[in-house]
Amino acid sequence: MQEPSIFTKIINGEIPSHKIYEDDKTFAFLDIYPITTGHTLIIPKVQVEFLWDLDDEYYTAVMNTARKLALHLRSELGVPFVGEKVLGTDVPHAHVHLIPFVQPHEFHGDQDMNAKPDHEALARLAERLKL
């Protein structure tokens, strides 16, 4: 049996998160090292390392949640674009990044993994964005 990923621990409530959406197959929360305001991660509730290895049911659920949240983020944040990234290199649990942006350079920005997360601001934003 594989070790639970940090995302599995978030789903199970063992690690806190700034959740904005959850259904029976997916879980979405704000990234604590956002590239832009509203940077969101969408994960399946099964621990599979790569998005492309999910079965059709979970893959479709992740993509449907991504679409629903992208439209919501675009509307709620007043941005013209929400980009989607699938990297699959940082956590061994399938996930999709949604990155709201105005200018293309914002979408291509890097995360500052050394920054101290502003959990108060993230909590306020999560309340605003919660579906």
Q: Provide the mean pLDDT of the chain.
A: 96
Q: What is the identity of the amino acid at 91?
A: V
Asked if residue 42 lies in contact with residue 98, where contact means CB atoms within 8 angstroms, the answer is: yes
Give the active site residue among 18, 72, 95, 97: 95
Write down how long the chain is: 131
The pTM of this model reads 0.95
Give catalytic status of residue 119 as yes or no: no
Q: Which two tokens stand for residue 47?
A: 């621990």
Q: Summarize pLDDT for 71-129 with one digit per residue, the tens.
A: 999 999 999 999 999 988 889 999 999 999 999 999 999 999 999 999 999 999 999 99
Identify the DSSP state of 102: S
